[in-house]
Structure formats: C-alpha cells, structure tokens
A = this chain, B = another copy of it.
Amino acid sequence: MNKNYITSKDIERRGLMFVLSSPSGAGKTSLAKKLIDEEQNISMSVSMTTRKARKGEQNGKDYIFVTTEEFKQSIEKNELLEWAEVFGNHYGTPKTEVENQLKEGRDVLFDIDWQGTQQLHEKVGQDLVRVFILPPSVPVLEDRLKGRGQDDEKVVKARMKQAANQISHWAEYDYVIINDNLEESLSELKSILHAERLKRERRIGLSSFVRNMIQKM
C-alpha cells in the first residue's frame, strides 16, 4: 500500500465459489471448460470419490480417489462441503482445499447439481455465486440428449425426465443463462464472473486502501 499508483488487480480479494448447474444437454461442461481455459485465477473444484479411477484419470487432479471407509470418515469429520451418492458411488467436495484457494483470492468452479448447490448454500455465505444454465427449448435439449449416442427412445425419455427435475430448481440460483449460443453464453458467464469479482464485500483490501487515501487528502 506504499505505492502511489494502484491498479484494480492490486487490491486483495477473497475468491468466490462459482457454481454452474444445468440439466445434461444444456452445454454446461463445454462452458465450464472454456471458462477455465480462457480465464485466470479460476480452477475446477477437485472432487473426492469412491468410484474406480478410469484410464488416464490422475489421483489429485481429476479426482481424489478414496475408499468408501475413507469417504465415510470425511463425512463424519465434517470435512466435505457437499456430497452425494450416484449409482452406488460417493462424490464430495473437500472443504480445506476450497477454503485455501478462496483465501488466496482464487476462484473455484463447481459443476454440481441442485442438491450439491443446496448443500453449499447451507454451508457458505456470500462466497457462493450460483448460475443456472437453461437450454433454449425442449426440441434443442432433446436433440442434444439424443446426439450423445444411439440410445433408444426409452433412455432419452428417462433423461428428459431427469432434465425436467433439474430445471425445476432454476429459481434457487442467482443468475440464469439461456444457452442458445455457446460464445454468447460464455461471454455472459465471464461478465458474471468479472462483476462478482468487483463486489465490494469480496475486495477485502479496499478498506485499508481507502483509509490510506483519505488520510492523505
């Protein structure tokens, strides 16, 4: 704070937890990947899971692979910010790693569903920024869900029901993006991230910056 001239980036800030949720088929994974690629100071949250590592997956990078016993201990010790069981496997977000990133002014991106978001919301306050991504229409969503493989009608229908269930929670989010164009949606997502970084309450270095300034006036 001894510099005469300061840029916005010099002000210490607290990182934010940037949550993206959507039904599958709405383009969330592409958006998350592009955002991480093109932005500084934000990275994906690394989940802990009990499922087996797939080929090429690195422990500690893609996931933290643990036994069911270890996972249950983490729950008991309250070490997870949120967790869920999906098809017999456990997935969860370790608290410590996220907390360290936020303290360093780094943002953490979460690709989680409404249940995980609700759990986060209960545990964290203003660090949380929740974005819901909607498809532009039902036919578009259906096309995207079909397009993933040669699945029969029954499977697609079940996925549509799952998507409807996910979408029904849109009103629990702070921002809503309608993904009718990937580049436009990415730009909207970046605006939200940039704006949220400028929120007064996150810029914890401002208070001393302004105090010093007023003293010299």
Q: Which residues of A are interface residues toward B (Cβ below 8 A)?
A: 3-8, 11, 132, 134-141, 160-161, 163-164, 167-168, 170-171, 173-178, 180-181, 184-185, 188, 190-192, 194-196, 198-200, 203, 206-207, 209-210, 213-214, 216-217
Contacts and interface: CB of A to CB of B under 8 A. Distances in A.
Given A7-B180, A200-B176, A168 B214 contact: yes
Contacts of A213: 134-135, 137-138, 167
A184 B134 contact: no
Contact of A192 (B5, B198, B209): B198
6 contacts: A7-B178, A11-B178, A141-B217, A164-B214, A191-B198, A194-B195
A164 B19 CA distance: 38
Contact of A7 (B141, B181, B200): B181
A191 to B, nearest CB: 4
B216 A199 contact: no
Contacts of A173: 200
Nearest to A164: B217
Nearest to A129: B195
Given A7-B178, A178-B8, A180-B6, A138 B217 contact: yes
